Amino acid sequence: MKKLTEDIETVLFSREQLAEKVRELGQAITDDYQDKELLVIGVLKGAGVFMSDLVREIDGDLRTDYMVVSSYGNETVSSGKLRIIKDVQQDMKGWHVLLVEDIVDTGNTLSALKAIMEERGAESVRICALLDKPSRRVKPVEVSYRGFEVPDEFIIGYGIDYAEKYRNLPFIGVLKREIYE
């Protein structure tokens, strides 16, 4: 296996900074959903690492599920249309849904997913995203729980990939331009 760290331009958030932020998000979610039936839905693969840390910081009875979606676009920009590759297993009715994503970029993915959950009869639908690139937003989406704002660079690590690589980095960094240009 090749060393991944050679391809990193800068480290944005260390393992410790991520753990601290995930604890804060988990605490806020714990406080807000005290009397509610919470269904946490992770968007795979990107949110897989974040989601598994996040749910362990939420102190309360909840359910987890996962979706796999793909957008009809090129590799680095999503389009408005969403294709569901793996759907959630359970009925939304009566559940307060929290959608967990790695990055909100254009907002296309999450605005489409939120609409789908609402249409299926969820009690409420909120979004938790570890990273937000507000400069790239095309569709407005309200992010109720947000980890960090990031610049318009190519981000990798902690579940987030470039061409299916770098997901296993324990920190979040910026990929060297020469790798993807």
* Binding-site ranges for Mg ion (CB under 5 A): 46
Binding of residue 107 to ligand IMP (CB under 6 A):
yes
Which of the following is catalytic: 59, 105, 132, 161? Answer: 105
Binding of residue 154 to ligand IMP (CB under 6 A):
yes
Size (the chain), residues? 181
Binding of residue 26 to ligand IMP (CB under 6 A):
no
The b/e string for 133-151 (b: 16+ C-beta within 10 A; e otherwise) is: beeeeeeebebbbbbeebe
Q: Measuring CA to CA, how many Å separate 148 from each of 76, 103, 104?
A: 20, 10, 11
d(CA 100, CA 169): 19
Instruction: Please give the residue whose beta carbon sits closest to Mg ion in the complex.
Output: 46
Binding of residue 50 to ligand IMP (CB under 6 A):
no
Active site residue 105: yes
- Minimum CB separation from ligand IMP for residue 170, in Å? 16
CA 163 to chain centre: 17
Is there a contact between 158 and 47 (Cβ–Cβ < 8 Å)?
A: no
- Minimum CB separation from ligand IMP for residue 104, in Å? 5
Which residues are at the interface with ligand IMP (CB under 6 A)?
A: 46, 78, 101-109, 154-156, 160
- Positions marked active-site: 105
